Amino acid sequence: LFPSKMSGVWVFQNGVIRLAENPGADSVDGSRQGSSIRRKVLVHTPSNEVINSYAVLEGKLSLLGWERYYDDPDLFQFHKRSTVHLISLPKDFNKFKSMHMYDIVVKNRNVFEVRDM
């Protein structure tokens, strides 16, 4: 376990590191556990816009130099040429979980943040 400046604790399990926001929150696979969990949203901080679709997200990421990557038909992916970073998201936006949001935040500091809805 690693302390984090974000609310929660970084947990390393089965080769995956994730932010455990609170006990009973997202599991490693992104499924929800518990009944009193607040829904998270990804916010584009310069515009204060909640990202509510992949079309909106793609527009924001493309302005930051991210390009769509079409290697896997089951994923919605972005790559930034100047880095080794790859953002991999589930094809279905309804399966877009907080672990995906935090991945975007970490790779785009000061541009996105995750908030409780």
Say if CB 22 and CB 4 are below 8 A apart: no
Domain assignment of residue 15, yes or no = no
Domain assignment of residue 24, yes or no = no
| 22 has pLDDT over 70 | no
Kindly report the pTM of this predicted structure. 0.68
Q: Which domain holds residue 61?
A: 38-116
Domain assignment of residue 67, yes or no = yes
| 59 has pLDDT over 90 | yes
Domain assignment of residue 111, yes or no = yes
Residue 115 is inside which H or E element, if any?
Answer: strand 112-116
Domain assignment of residue 64, yes or no = yes
Contacts of 115 (CB under 8 A, 6+ apart): 40, 41, 43
Quick one: pLDDT at residue 12? 66
pLDDT in tens, 61-110: 999 999 998 988 899 999 998 889 999 999 999 999 999 999 999 999 89
DSSP state for residue 61 in the 8-state scheme = H
Domain assignment of residue 79, yes or no = yes
Domain assignment of residue 13, yes or no = no
How many structural domains compose the chain? 1
